Chains A and B, each alone.
Chain A
Amino acid sequence: MAFKGTLIIDTEKCKGCGVCIIGCPQKCIALGKKVNKKGYNHLEIIEDTCIGCANCAVVCPDGVIEVYKVKV
């Protein structure tokens, strides 16, 4: 069974620590060039390959990631 997922990232609360990126099995997230109001390069979705595993959200120290997932 395959899953497709996506994220809603609270970019204003993201501090760009990058801890989530290490845990992503799909390598579909990265820190972008854009900065938020605090000056952090925040997290962005770079590939449409998310499987909704929520690893990124689970390790996020600031709880800025919301995860959605469907069976495909």
Chain B
Amino acid sequence: MAKEIRLMKGNEAVAEGAIRCGCDGYFGYPITPQSEILEYLTVQNPYPKTGMVVLQAESETASINMVYGGAACAKKVMTSSSSPGISLMQEGLSYIAGAELPALCVNVVRGGPGLGTIQPSQADYFQTVKGGGHGDYKLITLAPASVQEMYDFVGLGFDLAFKYRNPVMILSDGLIGQVMEKVEIDDYTPRWTDEYIAEKFPWAMIGKPASRGHNIVTSLELDSAKQEQVNLRLQAKYKVCEENEVRYETFQVEDADILLVAYGSSARISQKVIELCRAQGLKVGLLRPITLWPFPTKAINEISKHVKGILTVEMSAGQMVEDVRLAVGCAVPVKHYGRFGGIIPTPTEIVEAIKTF
């Protein structure tokens, strides 16, 4: 049977994706440009239909800690916010990573620093993939480039979060969040039952039966030797994740002289850039990282062997470009083209940047 198709905003697609994939709880706080997620969920009121709890918290700090509580119960719980709000959540994300809990967070990025602007930006890349909060931890980071991916990555995000018992970030931006596109909608996936959770996730907060010891969710270990072991276990997990979960796609890289590397909205614009360049005889290709961590380091390194240069296109002062340079070394020049503060680059200005590479 053909899937249902709807015209939706990116933010609405996140909310619908949550309801449909069996999400147990959403906890959030309003902030532009992502408030439609909470608004859509409160309009839909999924609790009577699916049992999904939707709660407007008193702050982003409370939201992420509600997520921590729900995740401790091995429930599919999520929050969303935009850049300043995500900054407030960094403590909670570090705790979730430290306690090895599965959770989903969506950042519909706006321009910064500070209160910045409500327009789209990609300047939270460092915050997301390099830590953000305290301690050595990683967020599995998915970068949607369409409203369909906003929808799809909610389910995928939960799958990865539970597979690795690790927080997952959907790193979107104000453009993808606000734009309307058609979306293929799935049937409802039922929420997990408590019996299923008890069997599948023996670490979960579910109440201690006589048959087992008590479960503890904590990120505290006062004995340094043990805390080092915790860190080593985390690092081993991250390595497995790096080996198995890299996602990316390429466009016309086979004969390219110049490789563009761009994610999210910038990748959409870069596809138009390829079209314009090729019409002018410039052989340009694109690699779009879908996971920003783990990063497609190997793929970029391979492609770098047959191109003359690499240009990253980011709505920032140049953040992902550092990871591209790490992937390539000094093999070919790696440059950055960026607009920031909420400005979206036009294809024409990127074509000019390629011409003067």
Indicate yes or no for A touching B, C-beta below 8 A: no
